[in-house]
Amino acid sequence: MNIEWSVLGEVVLVSILMTVALVGLFTVGIVTGSAQDGVTATAAARPRLAVTLSKLIAYTCFALCAAAVVFGIYLIAF
């Protein structure tokens, strides 16, 4: 049995980088989405466009995370 260590190292590196990227993207979605839920004086004064834009950014982050998960399942299954 011959193990190609360079290929194994590449897989480990890509796995770690994608994990960090996905967690970071999901965190951005949570922080951006929850920034609009605060009921403070500054949150009440936020323009409607800013709230809409923060929702759009949050939903985009979640959609990208879901797409990455579906792509990963596709790679494993097919």
Greatest Cα pair distance, the chain, in angstroms, is: 66
Q: What is the pLDDT of residue 1?
A: 83
Q: Which phi and psi (to 5°) does residue 29 adopt? A: -65, -40
Of 12, 18, 46, 16, which Cα lies nearest the Cα of 32? Answer: 46
Q: Which two tokens stand for residue 47?
A: 């323009």
Q: What's the predicted TM-score (pTM) here?
A: 0.76
pLDDT at 53 over 70: yes
**Residues sharing a CB contact under 8 Å with residue 25, sequence separation 6 or more, in sequence order:** 61, 64, 65
Domain ranges of the chain: 9-77
